[in-house]
Amino acid sequence: MLSDFKTQLFEISRAIIPITVIILIIHFLFIPDFSLSHAFQFTMGSLMVILGITLFLVGVNLGLIPIGNAIGSETVRSGSIPVILLIAFMFGFFATVAEPDVRVLANMIESVAGNSIDRLDLILAISTGGGFFVAASILRIVFNVPLAYLFTAGYLIVLALLFFAPQEYVPIAFDGGGVTVGPVNGPIFLSLGIGVTSVLGGRSAITDGFGLVGFASVGSVIGILLMGIVAS
Q: Are 232 and 161 contacting, i.e. CB atoms less than 8 angstroms apart? A: no
**pTM flag (> 0.75):** yes
Mean pLDDT of the chain: 87
Amino acid type, 25: I
- How buried is 194 (Cβ within 10 angstroms: 0-12 exposed, 13-18 middle, 19+ buried)? buried
Alpha-carbon distance of 135 to 91, in angstroms, equals 9
| DSSP type of residue 98 | T
Q: CA torsion angle for 19, 24, 27, 33 (degrees, to 10)?
A: 150
The domains of the chain are located at 1-62, 78-231
Q: Which amino acid is at 174?
A: F
How many C-beta neighbours within 10 Å does residue 18 have? 10
Q: Which of 36-50, 125-139, 186-200, 201-215 has the lowest mean pLDDT?
A: 201-215
Band of pLDDT at residue 169, cut at 50, 70 and 90: very high
HSE (CB half, 13 Å, CA atoms) of 35? 3
For 99-119, write each residue's pLDDT tens digit.
888 999 999 998 888 778 888
Indicate whether 2 pLDDT > 90.
no
